[in-house]
Structure 1
Amino acid sequence: MYTYTAEQLTRYLEHIGYRGDARQLASQDPLGCLTSIQHHHMARVPFESLSLHYSRHRLLSLHPEDLFGKVVDRGRGGYCMEVNTLFAVVLRSLAFTLYSVGGRVNGPGGYKGWDHMVNIVTVDGRRYLVDVGFGSRGPLHPVPLEHGCEFPGLGQARGRLEYRRLEEHADPGQRAWVYSVREGEGRPWRTQYHFVETEFTAADFEVMNLRTMTAPQSFFVQNVMCMCTLLDDQEENPVGLLILHRDYIKRQVGDVSEIMERLESEQQRVDALKRYFGIVLSPEDQASIRGLASGLLTGPSGHA
């Protein structure tokens, strides 16, 4: 299996602002190490779709070396298959035991096809869902694979894992892990995605990636988005989100959200990516969005 060199691993940990000896902590307190690295990763490596809008080729590589160059060398992020592939290689380089699986995101019309990737990490004989690439409703910490497990999100939000049959299953004996979110006490649980325990190979994700980055109906093809988590004053635990979506910047801390800025032009959006996320787009990349429906070339997009 692919791993990063010791020098690459050091550079990655410095990039995400991780303090301490991760190799030593991974052997002494593997769950604590895994949790801390996940928190720092999600605060520094954005969940974003920018390369599908601000590049001439609009193609995304899942090769670990390409991902390292994109994230560590160029300070970018990516969508689920990119950031979860990178994270899997980082964890494997730290001697964690894990494998990657496919999932289906739940949308207005029900579950879509295989379009999501998560990692299943084993720590002290216990398996955990680890997902650094789902967005504002994704799990913020490693989640034990236990039926009925509930866990905290931001503010009053909670997440839940269930191992159960889906309505779509023709075989009544089939089961899948279902991840749901509730925004507060008394609010309904809303299914976000489900995933299976069968290991997916790099070739499987290449097929999934091709459709996700090219299909006109893909959320990522349709939307310019970029988001990361916000950590507390000790820079340890996630307390909020910073989101760029289409034509606005939103900041959420706990249950409180506010629109920080409305974006009315491409230049304003490019400036916002640099100011809020530290992402600098080259003139060539900036120009490549011209002619796309996702561009803000003539004023506000009208989406909120």
Structure 2
Amino acid sequence: MHAYTKEQLSRYLEHIGLSRYDAWKHSSADPLACLAALQTHHMARVPFESLSLHYSRHRLLSLDLEDLFRKIVDSGRGGYCMEVNTFFAAMLRSLGFQLISVGGRVRGPNGYKGWDHMVNLVTINGRRYLVDVGFGSNGAPNPVPLEHDHEFVGIAPMRGRLQYRNLEEHTDPNQRAWVYSAQENGDAPWKDMYHFVETEFMSGDFEVMNLRTMTTPQSFFVQSVMCMCTILNEEKEKPVGLLILHRDYVKRRMGAESEIIEHLESEEQRVKALAKHFGIVLSPEEQGGIRGLASELRGNGGHA
């Protein structure tokens, strides 16, 4: 299994604000704390985003590890689930973690779709944990143990839950899958977000999944310009909020409070917002890639 070099690993750790010492100080005594710190800092620095499907001439996403390193570390970008979870899996292996990457299905308004999501399952002291750095605002910001009916607090007041159960779509009632659900607050209903299995998927499986997700017109990522990352507390230890650019606005969510901090009416404004809020600077060629797409902002608050 390909892993990154020590030099690439050091550059990545520096990129997310962790030194080599920080990454390894708990790796033997407390590997779970090490994993949690890596996930926390990664999600605050490497955005979950769909920009290359809009600001690009070719609009194709590579899962090659060297391509991902150049995009994420060299260029300061992120990606959607298969990009960032593929990259994070390779970094974890480079640090000595044991894990497998598996497929998932996201639940839409009409039920579960096809295989369109990727997560990592990390084993520590014989126990598996769900680690997902690429789902979005309802995702889990920390490792989640694979325990039936396990509940946890995400970015408060959001709560998450894992269950190992049958799905409505299963024709065999004996079938089981891990279901990740989220609750916006203590009074809100639980909503199933996605489910996944414990069968290891190979790189070829993700290549097929990636091709469909980045090209089908029905894909959320093809339809929407989005970019988001977590906000950490002052000690840089705990995620406390979210910064989200979606289509024509930038929103900051801190706890139960959500505020639109910028409305975007043109491509010029959106490009400036990406640089201001996420440190993502698009080249003139990248900026030109969105011209003529339905996702382009053409002024007056409208899309093309």
Q: TM-score range by the shorter chain?
A: over 0.9
Matched, 1:83 2:84: yes
The separation in 1 between residues aligned to 2:18 and 2:301, in whole angstroms, is 38
CA distance in 2, matches of 1:28, 1:93: 18
Q: Could you say which residue in structure 1 is the equivalent of 2:72?
A: 71
The SS at the match of 2:27 is helix
Alignment-derived partner of residue 8 in structure 1: 8
TM-score norm. by structure 1 comes to 0.98
Q: How does 1:98-137 map to 2 (within 5 A)?
A: 98-137=99-138
CA RMSD of aligned residues (A): 0.9
1:184 offset after TM fit, Å?
1.3
SS at match of 1:25: coil
Distance of 1:175 and 1:117 partners within structure 2: 18
Q: C-alpha displacement at 1:3, in angstroms?
A: 0.4
Answer whether contact 1:230 1:238 (CA < 8 A) is retained. Answer: yes
Displacement of 1:297: 1.9
- Name the SS of the counterpart of 2:35 in structure 1: helix
CA contact (8 A) 1:62 1:206 kept: yes
Amino acid at match of 2:198: E
Q: Which residues of structure 1 form unaligned runs of 5+? A: none
For residues 139 and 281 of structure 1, what CA distance do their matches in structure 2 show?
29
Moved over 2 A (4+): none
Which residue does the alignment assign to 1:41? 42
**Distance in 2 between the 1:240 and 1:131 partners?**
17
Matches within 5 A, 1:184-195: 184-195=185-196
Aligned-partner Cα distance in 1 for 2:23–2:236: 16
SS of 2:26's equivalent in the other structure is helix
- 1:42-61 deviations in whole A, cap 9, x for unaligned? 00000000000000000000
Structure 1, 198-207 or 152-161: larger mean CA deviation: 152-161
Residue identity (%):
70
User: Quick one: distance in 1 between partners of 2:64 and 2:24?
Assistant: 24
Give the Cα separation in 1 of the matches to 2:165 and 2:188: 21
1:95 aligned onto 2:96: yes
Q: Deviations over 1:48-97 (max 9, x none)?
A: 00000000000000011110000000000000000000000000000100
Aligned residues of 1:45 and 1:228 also touching (Cα < 8 A): yes
CA drift of 1:171 comes to 1.2
Deviation at 1:112, TM superposition (A): 0.5
Uncovered stretches (5+) of structure 2, i.e. residues with no partner: none
Is the CA contact (8 Å cut-off) linking 2:233 and 2:240 kept in structure 1? yes
- The residue type equivalent to 2:81 in the other structure is C
Contact 1:4 1:90 in 2 (8 A): yes
Residue 10 of structure 1 aligns to which amino acid in structure 2?
S
Q: Secondary structure at the match of 1:39?
A: helix
8 A contact 1:48–1:227 mirrored in 2: yes
The answer for the alignment partner of 1:240 in structure 2 is 241
Give the aligned partner of residue 184 of structure 2.
183
CA distance in structure 1 between the aligned counterparts of 2:58 and 2:89, rounded to whole angstroms: 26
Kept after mapping to 2: 8 A contact 1:36/1:236: yes
Per-residue CA shift, 1:125-160, capped at 9, x if unaligned? 110000000000000100000000000012222100
Amino acid at match of 1:150: E
Give the alignment's TM-score, normalised by structure 2.
0.98
Residue 298 of structure 1 corresponds to 299
Give the partner amino acid of 2:272: D
Alignment partner of 1:274 is 2:275? yes
Say whether the 8 Å CA contact 1:290–1:297 is kept in structure 2: no
Larger CA deviation: 99-108 vs 24-33 = 24-33
**Matched-pair contact (CA < 8 Å) for 2:138–2:158:** no
Number of matched pairs:
302
Instruction: Give the drift of 1:24.
Output: 4.2
Distance 2:264 2:168 in 1: 41
